[in-house]
């Protein structure tokens, strides 16, 4: 009886772990690969590329990160019927630690900026920046709604470091 009990407890623990890891967040529709068009409410996100950088800019104006800069180029389309203030985005690592995008885009061409308004039927393209350790991440996309109505989706950001 003792071995059967341990077997059942181990099986239940595995089942709970699988269920607990099946979704990253309540309200999420899952994880998507880069390049997919991912709709979250009235916003459609497409993550076009992700680059790791040791510095932004050059010369005396060069910025160095605490860890490394992760620069993600995205396209965001408003398919809703009203103007939307685009939310700041964040990345989440395998330990479920979340890092919000940086509020300073100095040294990055096409930086999306902090105040981002998007009118209906329009698309904005640009880059967002994170200062994070080199690892695999998920970019957390949101519809920007109030906390009770906020929806999420995720895009995998694989670790692809440039070779010298």
pLDDT tens digits for range 26-82: 445 689 999 999 999 999 999 999 999 999 988 888 999 999 999 999 999 999 999
Whether residue 38 lies inside any domain: the answer is: yes
Whether residue 6 lies inside any domain: the answer is: no
Residue 140: pLDDT over 70: yes
Share of the chain above pLDDT 90, in %: 67
* pLDDT for the residue numbered 7: 40
Whether residue 128 lies inside any domain: the answer is: yes
Residue 17: pLDDT over 60: no
Boundaries of domain holding 96: 27-157
Q: How confident is the model at residue 147 (pLDDT cuts 50, 70, 90)?
A: confident
Whether residue 13 lies inside any domain: the answer is: no
CATH of the domain at 47: 2.60.40.1240
Long-range contacts of 107-113 (CB under 8 A, 24+ apart): 107/55, 107/56, 107/57, 107/61, 107/62, 107/63, 108/56, 108/71, 110/73, 112/74, 112/86
Rounded to two decimals, what is the model's pTM? 0.80
Our count of domains for the chain comes to 1
Whether residue 53 lies inside any domain: the answer is: yes
Whether residue 7 lies inside any domain: the answer is: no
């Amino acid at each position: 009886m003792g071995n059967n009990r341990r077997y059942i407890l181990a099986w239940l623990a595995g089942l709970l772990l699988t269920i607990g890891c099946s979704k990253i967040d309540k309200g999420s529709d899952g994880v998507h690969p880069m390049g997919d068009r991912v709709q979250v409410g009235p916003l459609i996100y497409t993550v076009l590329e992700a680059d790791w950088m040791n510095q932004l800019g050059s010369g005396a104006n060069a910025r160095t990160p605490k860890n490394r800069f992760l620069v993600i180029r995205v396209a965001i389309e408003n398919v809703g019927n009203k103007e939307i203030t685009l939310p700041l985005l964040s990345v989440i690592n395998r330990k479920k630690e979340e890092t919000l995008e940086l509020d300073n885009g100095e040294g990055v061409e096409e930086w999306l900026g902090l105040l981002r308004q998007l009118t209906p039927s329009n698309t904005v393209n640009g880059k967002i920046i994170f200062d994070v350790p080199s690892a695999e991440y998920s970019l957390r996309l949101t519809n920007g709604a109030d906390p009770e109505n906020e929806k999420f989706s995720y895009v995998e950001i694989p670790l692809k470091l440039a070779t010298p």
